[in-house]
Structure 1
Amino acid sequence: MSATITASELRARVSGSSFYAGMRILPKAEREAMFAIYGFCRLVDDIADDETGEPVAIRQTQLDQWRRDIDGLYAGDDPGQAAFLAEAVRHFHLDRADFLAVIDGMQMDLDRDIRWPDFAELDLYCDRVASAVGRLSVRVFGMDREPGLALAHHLGRALQFTNILRDIDEDAGIGRVYLPGQALAAAGIVPTTPAALVAEPELDAAARWLAARAEVHFSEAGAILAERPRGHLIAPRLMEVAYSRLLDRMTRQGWRAPRKRVRVSKLALLFSILRFSLLP
């Protein structure tokens, strides 16, 4: 997408996200900044998850160009396709390192199809593709540094672990398995291929290993939000509630094949938005 990406194009990029409803009711400057951040995330994610058969070399060139454009944006040079981020970066003092971390996370997917990584590698991946987005977001929300960084850390991990547990079959279909090797070993699984893994009867135990860690991060994020820190926090409150409920529904259903995909309830999201909008 060109450097002349419009506000309506940014909204279209994020409108299918569960974050969208919470972002829409932010003040104008914060709303537009969040649309820009999530538009950026969608654009670079599309490069990493390209399913059209685009050669890896071309996608690598595209990611490298994004790095140069982010560098240009912060150096005061030509920002290229990153121009739409300029106002958000200027107004909210967004950190260049967090944008580059997101690109580095996409690079991990581009370098190889991630399969049963070590938990430390998975945690790094989640920091880059989720918590780095959180670090950008909490600046826009106006949070103080310490609670903001803590919320980004815990909620980012919680959301990404939940996404992994929800998308087991879809990820396996493109050759990826994000469940960590430690979870598979604890369940007695010796992985061979993604297709064989998703049929394993003990996959449920491996998924519950990761679900337990997601629950810890949700608990920590919930405790931070319960303290009512300074900031526009409807969006993170919404995500904490919606995705913790999603994880709870998946845990009750289990992960034995054949799995039924569990989705976030849009009606529940609307009720949550109303409730949070009434908080002092």
Structure 2
Amino acid sequence: MGYEYALVHLTYTIPPAILLSLIYWPLSTRLDFYRIAFLITIAVVSTIPWDSYLIRTNIWSYPPNVVLGWTLFGIPVEEVFFFVIQTYNTSLLYLLLNKPVLGAVYLVKEKPGRSKWKYVKLSGSIALALAIKKGIEFVRLGGDRTYLGLIIVWAGPFLFLLWNLAYQFLVNLPFTSTVLPIAIPTVYLWIVDTLALQRGTWVIESGTKTGLHLWPGGLEVEEALFFLLTNCLIVFGLVAFDNAIAILHTFPSHFPKVPELPSPVLLVKALLIPAATYDDDRILGLQQCVARLRAKSRSFYLASSAFQGRLRIDLVILYSFCRVADDLIDNAESSAEAREWVGKLKQYLDHCYGGAVKTKDGREISARDPNQGPATQWVMGQFPRDAQLTLLLLPTERLAKEPLYELLRGFEMDLSFSSSSGSVGGPIKSEEDLDTYGARVAGTVALLCIQLVMFHYPGNKSMDEGKRLMKAGHDMGIALQYTNIARDLEVDAKNKRVYVPPGWLKKEKLTPESFVSGILKTSAAKGVVSDQDSFFLKKVGVVRGRLLDRAFAFYEESKSAIEELPLEARAPMRVAVESYMQIGRELRRPGYKMKGGRATVPVGKRLWVGWRALLGPR
């Protein structure tokens, strides 16, 4: 009886498990626990017979003075625990690296005929089949390649099965999702194993190993291959699991309802659906939505990763719709063209909320029927290609129409700014006008987000409670818009737009015209400013401070309502709000960083703010 093997765990495997657990705990969900338990169960059940055979046939052994002496099918309990802890650590690292990933965008519809994916699948299958065949040969021949062959024969069939179930996902996912969670634990365990072999914690019998070493110091190539393949098995298994989850959440036409913890049978059913039946437009539309958010709404994209399943997909589509509408109007070459886009968007909403329509032969079709629906036909005929799918994916059946129409009224307020003849004018004449504007362009979006949360997680809230939560969400949206205006003073000045109420400017002895010209002048100075300009910047700081005070007043009044949301959305919504309000906190700090005329939050700080928000309210 000894403690050498137990000390390996206490020194090398348990500390990383504790560290990863602490880091990932705020991000964890019930589905994550289910995923890890699922993988650990499979790992233990599939490894015990193989490991037990190796010990009984004296291919490897454990000196009695290094193990406690308790066994399971002849396997020391420390070794059984190793199966558990390795799977746990690699799984947590995979989940941490994959948290930002929206699986739906990595699905691919396979076209009939000569699809490249047929050859990708075939190539991987042939390579794995040949490896298994070679492993069988090694086992039959015996001798110094026995252990090497047994490793391949054991791991190869599992890898072959997982490859054929999830080859598209494995190939499409970024390397940070697949290669890193394999490589990092593998190299770490290579080092641990080298130290353990040198101390004699476990021993590979000389007659069954090749005698080749990965590096000087005693790490046999068989052991190196074992850890590489076991981590491949874990990550391949997790990828297959996530592939099934992505299919379940992406295609409601195949799976109208999906339980929070899908059964193994349902997961396999999802993986076995032919890729040729995937909705290609839905995949492409989601890819466009994600690309748009990555480029233009980093704070929301970061926050969206904390949401789950179909709620996350709906929120990504909703926010992408807002960006599409905003871009169509902002990028118009004239105010007349911009107003035309607003009119087209209104017509689109009219079609979506007009209900089913009847064809000449008496059939009823939905507004967004892919062939004859009036909304579909309108979008395909009136909007640019990169906007079409986002519009058609917008879940209007789960959203009230009033906030969407109100959003368009907010865009119309933007269009009432006039830059003709160098003048500066606009719709913001008072603090009440600014509140109205914020309510229209941001409060509406926040309210729609709450509607989606309540749809996906209805719970037992009364109608009055639901209305109160949506009102709080609406006000929080106003807070975010005030923050946005405070951040974008320079950008808006370049467009000759002033969202600051004239009364606020008058108090600082400024007019909209002098406010714009002063900002443009000090911006062009690139840090070299006169005493007069410095005095002006102090006035700008006072105006920005008032905007932020108003933002944080709305924020403080509304933030407690977040804790009344359904549990599944509470922490993610906290992340979404805090990630954006952090911009306001940065603006209050002297020497804040600017990028493109806007204050920015460094990536590291955004991650820290998001992680803290997940832990709970401040």
Q: Same fold (TM over 0.5)?
A: yes
Equivalent in the alignment of 1:137: 449
Question: Shift in Å at residue 268 of structure 1?
Answer: 2.7
Q: Tell me if structure 1 keeps the 8 A contact 2:488–2:597.
A: no
2:352 maps to which of 52, 73, 83: 73
Report whether the alignment pairs 1:122 with 2:434.
yes
Equivalent in the alignment of 2:302: 21
Aligned in 2, Cα 1:165/1:196: closer, same or farther, shift over 3 Å?
A: same
Question: Shift in Å at residue 190 of structure 1?
Answer: 3.1
Equivalent in the alignment of 2:475: 154
Aligned in 2, Cα 1:265/1:117: closer, same or farther, shift over 3 Å?
A: farther
Query: What CA distance in whole angstroms lies between the structure 1 residues aligned with 2:511 and 2:615?
Result: 50
1:47-86 paired onto structure 2 within 5 Å: 47-50=328-331, 54-76=333-355, 77=367, 78-80=374-376, 81=379, 82-85=391-394
Which one-letter code corresponds to 1:129 in the other structure? V
Equivalent in the alignment of 1:170: 491
Query: What CA distance in whole angstroms lies between the structure 1 residues aligned with 2:300 and 2:603?
Result: 11
**Higher deviation after alignment, 14-23 or 161-170:** 14-23
Query: What CA distance in whole angstroms lies between the structure 2 residues aligned with 1:126 and 1:262?
Result: 20
Equivalent in the alignment of 2:409: 104
Q: Tell me if structure 2 keeps the 8 A contact 1:197–1:203.
A: no
Aligned length: 268
* Superimposed CA distance per residue, residues 21-74 of structure 1 (whole angstroms, 9 cap, x where no aligned partner): 221332221111111111110111012322xx6122222222101101111011
Question: Shift in Å at residue 237 of structure 1?
Answer: 0.9
Q: Find the residue that maps to 1:15 and give its secondary structure.
A: helix
Question: Shift in Å at residue 220 of structure 1?
Answer: 1.6
Query: What CA distance in whole angstroms lies between the structure 2 residues aligned with 1:254 and 1:161?
Result: 20
Equivalent in the alignment of 1:268: 605
Q: Which runs of 5+ in 1 are unaligned?
A: none
Equivalent in the alignment of 2:396: 89
Q: Which runs of 5+ in 2 are unaligned?
A: 1-280, 356-366, 368-373, 380-390, 419-424, 459-464, 523-535
Aligned in 2, Cα 1:27/1:74: closer, same or farther, shift over 3 Å?
A: same
Query: What CA distance in whole angstroms lies between the structure 1 residues aligned with 2:314 and 2:589?
Result: 37
- Greater relative CO, 1 or 2 (CA 8 Å, sep 6+): 1
Q: Tell me if structure 2 keeps the 8 A contact 1:147–1:229.
A: no
Question: Shift in Å at residue 266 of structure 1?
Answer: 2.2
* Superimposed CA distance per residue, residues 185-242 of structure 1 (whole angstroms, 9 cap, x where no aligned partner): 23232332553242534222222222211121121232223x4432513343123323
Query: What CA distance in whole angstroms lies between the structure 2 residues aligned with 1:250 and 1:271?
Result: 18
Which one-letter code corresponds to 1:244 in the other structure? M
Question: Shift in Å at residue 131 of structure 1?
Answer: 0.4
Query: What CA distance in whole angstroms lies between the structure 1 residues aligned with 2:308 and 2:349?
Result: 26
Report whether the alignment pairs 1:33 with 2:329.
no
Report whether the alignment pairs 1:222 with 2:222.
no
Query: What CA distance in whole angstroms lies between the structure 1 residues aligned with 2:414 and 2:489?
Result: 15
Query: What CA distance in whole angstroms lies between the structure 2 residues aligned with 1:147 and 1:181?
Result: 32
Query: What CA distance in whole angstroms lies between the structure 1 residues aligned with 2:606 and 2:540?
Result: 30
Aligned in 2, Cα 1:275/1:248: closer, same or farther, shift over 3 Å?
A: closer
% identity of equivalent residues? 24
Q: Tell me if structure 1 keeps the 8 A contact 2:304–2:315.
A: yes
Q: Find the residue that maps to 2:588 and give its secondary structure.
A: helix
Which one-letter code corresponds to 2:300 in the other structure? F
* Superimposed CA distance per residue, residues 128-170 of structure 1 (whole angstroms, 9 cap, x where no aligned partner): 1100001110111227523422332221111111111111111
Query: What CA distance in whole angstroms lies between the structure 1 residues aligned with 2:613 and 2:508?
Result: 39
Query: What CA distance in whole angstroms lies between the structure 1 residues aligned with 2:294 and 2:486?
Result: 23
Equivalent in the alignment of 2:326: 45
Q: Find the residue that maps to 1:6 and give its secondary structure.
A: helix
Report whether the alignment pairs 1:252 with 2:531.
no
Kindly report the root-mean-square deviation, in angstroms, between the aligned alpha carbons of the 2 structures.
2.7
**Higher deviation after alignment, 190-199 or 152-161:** 190-199
**Higher deviation after alignment, 98-107 or 75-84:** 75-84
Equivalent in the alignment of 2:517: 196
* Superimposed CA distance per residue, residues 76-135 of structure 1 (whole angstroms, 9 cap, x where no aligned partner): 3322333221xx222xx3111111111111111123246453222211111111000011
Provide TM-score, normalisation by structure 1.
0.84
